[in-house]
Chain A
Amino acid sequence: AQTVTQSQPEMSVQEAETVTLSCTYDTSENNYYLFWYKQPPSRQMILVIRQEAYKQQNATENRFSVNFQKAAKSFSLKISDSQLGDTAMYFCASLSGETSGSRLTFGEGTQLTVNP
């Protein structure tokens, strides 16, 4: 079984600054995947970035990057040059790579507010 924990219910950042959202996970598997999803006020959950556990290199997508610490089971999201449109609920999630199916396991979510 996999568990995902986000210990920051809310965070705020000034526009153009950098913010880091924390996520820790627990799994007994060697092969798994990690994701960050964004849910803006419009409600649709959007995939922001993904990381394969077997890759040591941290994933990046434009202003979004992760700090993947496999030994510590930590997977934080860094948002650079924050924009007002980044205001959203952010969910960290994991996916087993070893079992069949595609069950995403989510964290509690972090509400990020970008202030002008």
Chain B
Amino acid sequence: EPEVTQTPSHQVTQMGQEVILRCVPISNHLYFYWYRQILGQKVEFLVSFYNNEISEKSEIFDDQFSVERPDGSNFTLKIRSTKLEDSAMYFCASSEGQGAYQPQHFGDGTRLSIL
């Protein structure tokens, strides 16, 4: 069964550095998402992406964050000038369409640790 894959599984970065988290969505999916889960807290929506542009973003997704689909297969989340509070598990998801009838398929996540 097709899967969403995320790399790396664990990323350790110095505070202030830029980090790029990578995701390969399921090949026929058109909608892409990033969520994050700070340790001990809820999974939170960051952003959704469709047709090469952001379709929705949360209040968490400020100018420090950006997303890109650089080559038609990868979907990346870039965090500029990382902060300690960016330490979290980041999940990528994809779906064929929008809404409940097109469920979101999640990757394994990338654990980001900011030192």
Contacts and interface: CB of A to CB of B under 8 A. Distances in A.
Given A43-B109, A101-B56, A108-B42, A95 B99 contact: yes
Interface residues of B, number: 28
Contacts of A47: 103-105
A102 B31 CA distance: 9
B56 A100 contact: yes
A-side interface size class: 20 to 34
Contacts of A42: 108
Contacts of A107: 42
Nearest to B98: A102
Interface stretch (B43-51, B71-79, B80-88): B43-51
A45 B100 contact: no
5 contacts: A33-B100, A91-B43, A101-B56, A102-B31, A102-B95
Interface of A: 4, 33, 35, 37, 42-47, 50, 52, 91, 93, 95, 97, 100-109
